[in-house]
């Protein structure tokens, strides 16, 4: 799908679902990795992640575009366009847009490594996401130092 086809589809969906014209630009932005799309407040253009169409289907692309169009139309009407606002949530539900974009193959998975420590005094095991200095910190139960388990 080209940017011209995306522009034409966005204009059609804007008229069909919102009853308002989309008069700005929309195009694919291959630099987007973890998000489905992005609405720019400054010049009102919309970027769409091309993986929303290539890895999924046209229906998924439509839902992502409708999500961004909700931001677009609410902002231009002077209403609260943020995700947390009730106006946004209501409008998104009315038009059938997706609240979240599905994860793509390019999105970084947050696999957090756990560091496991054992207290030398009482034997309690703790898990942390970050490594810490076992000589500096002590157990809050007994005051002994920890040793790294893994």
Could you tell me if 37 and 79 lie in one domain? yes
The Cα–Cα gap between 31 and 51 comes to 10
Catalytic residue among 5, 55, 68, 125: 68
Give the pLDDT score at 106. 78
Q: Does residue 101 form part of some domain?
A: no
* CATH code of 85's domain: 3.30.2010.10
Catalytic residue check, 5: no
Among 55, 57, 7, 58, which residue's Cα sits nearest to residue 28? 7
Element (DSSP H or E) covering residue 10 = helix 3-18
Give pLDDT, residue 108.
Answer: 67
34: nearest Cα among 109, 145, 130 = 109
pTM for this predicted structure: 0.72
C-alpha 23: how far from chain center: 25
Residue 118 has φ and ψ, to the nearest 5°, of -125, 135
- Whether 28 and 77 map to the same domain: the answer is yes
Q: What is the DSSP string of 82-146?
A: STTSHHHHHHHHHHT--SSPPP-TTSPP--PPPEEEEETTT--EEEESS---TTT-B-TTT-PBE
**Domain containing residue 134:** 115-149
Tally the domains of the chain. Answer: 2
How far, in Å, CA of 97 to CA of 76, rounded? 18
Look at residue 121 in the predicted model and tell me its pLDDT: 95
The rounded average pLDDT for each run of 10 residues, N- to C-terminus, in the chain (150 residues) is 96 96 96 92 96 93 96 96 96 94 78 86 93 94 93
**Could you give the CA distance from residue 113 to residue 127 in angstroms, rounded to a whole number?**
10
């Amino acid at each position: 799908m080209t940017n011209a086809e995306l522009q034409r589809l966005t204009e059609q969906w804007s008229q069909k679902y919102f009853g308002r014209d989309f008069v700005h630009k929309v195009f694919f932005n291959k630099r987007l990795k973890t998000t489905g799309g992005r609405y720019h407040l400054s010049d009102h253009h919309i970027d769409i992640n091309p993986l929303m169409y290539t890895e999924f289907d046209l229906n998924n692309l439509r839902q992502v575009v409708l999500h961004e169009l909700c931001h677009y139309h609410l902002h231009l009407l002077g209403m609260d366009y943020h995700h947390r606002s009730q106006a946004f949530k209501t409008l998104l539900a009315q038009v059938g847009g997706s609240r979240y974009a599905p994860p793509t193959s390019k999105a970084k998975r947050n696999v957090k490594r756990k560091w496991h420590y054992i207290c030398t005094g009482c034997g309690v095991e703790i898990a942390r996401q970050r490594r810490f200095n076992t000589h500096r910190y002590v157990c809050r139960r007994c005051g002994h130092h920890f040793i790294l388990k893994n």
